[in-house]
Structure 1
Amino acid sequence: MESVILKFEQLLNENVNYIPTINNEILEVKNPGKWSKKEILGHLIDSAIHNLVRFTEINYSEKPYRHRPYNQIDLVNLNQYQKTDIKELTQLWFLINNQIVRIMKSVDENALDYKIILSDESVIDLRFLMTDYVEHLEHHINQIKS
């Protein structure tokens, strides 16, 4: 997990100051059926909120843990990320993810093997979920930077 955490911290530290420097016109461009770069960052905030809960709950919930999906499109729209100041969005994204870093650093090695049942009934473990979270974040950061 150490390399995943280092990558995660690097993504956060490289982008917390960069994202707010992107021209607002670029951040707000919307193509049909696609999110703007602001909305992508909003999606990353929603993802962080849900994963913070997951990474915390799995430690005290009944095992195996049942992964609850969320409606990504509705959340982006309801939270009005398109209309929110980019500095505020970036700060929220950064702070929630810093808390996730703290959890990842403190998670017990045995907890990484806790089983998680996905909505399609497939089974993963906490290690996979945490690693996948960082990969998901990297994918969307690359979309914002492109």
Structure 2
Amino acid sequence: MKELTTKIERAVSEAVPKLRSLPEPEFSRKESPLKWSKKETLGHLVDSAQNNIQRFVRSQYKTTPTLVYDQNEWVRLQNYEHYPTEELLPLWVVLNKHLCRVLEAIPADDLYKTCNVGKELAEEHTLLFLAEDYLSHLRHHLSQIVE
């Protein structure tokens, strides 16, 4: 797990200077009303960290809990479009540091416990899969923001 958390921490630390260098108009610009701005995408990554922390913790003491979220509603209701960048960026960094601490604390046997993330139909995944998927998801959205 340490290798995975090192990759998450590296992705975050490498992205921070790039995110800080984005001019606010570019960071907040929406290409269309139906698409997220770069800032809203970062807000989505905040939500992803929060929801996955819940999955990693609850799945260790509950049998296959169901933890789903409506990403569009989370982004809209938390008003990331108008969230101050100087507050959003450190929040994202700290949540990822915490998520890595949570992952490192999971006993090896618990990595095979499952969580249901399906909205309509059951979609059960191991914590190991969810942790690896978290990194892929993080990298995907960071590439959308900074490249």
Give the TM-score normalised by the residue count of structure 1.
Answer: 0.91
The change in CA–CA distance for 1:105 and 1:42 in structure 2 (over 3 A counts) is same
Alignment of 1:77-92 (within 5 A): 77-92=76-91
Structure 1 partner of 2:128: 127
Structure 2 partner of 1:10: 10
CA drift at 1:74 = 1.2
Task: Give the AA of the match of 2:76.
Answer: N
Gaps of 5+ in 2: none
Structure 1 partner of 2:116: 117
CA drift at 1:55 = 1.0
Task: Give the AA of the match of 2:54.
Answer: V
Q: Distance in 2 between matches of 1:122 and 1:20?
A: 36
What is the percentage of aligned positions where both structures have the same residue? 32
CA drift at 1:85 = 1.6
Task: Compute the RMSD of aligned alpha carbons.
Answer: 1.3
- Whose helix proportion is higher, 1 or 2? 2
CA drift at 1:2 = 3.2
Q: Distance in 2 between matches of 1:118 and 1:83?
A: 29
Gaps of 5+ in 1: none
CA drift at 1:26 = 0.8
Structure 2 partner of 1:40: 41
CA drift at 1:116 = 2.4
Once the two structures are superposed, residues 4-62 of structure 1 have per-residue CA deviations (whole angstroms, 9 ceiling, x without a partner) of 2221010111123331221111101102221000000001111111111111111222x
Residues 9, 101 of structure 1: 8 Å contact kept? yes
Residues 27, 37 of structure 1: 8 Å contact kept? yes
Structure 2 partner of 1:99: 98
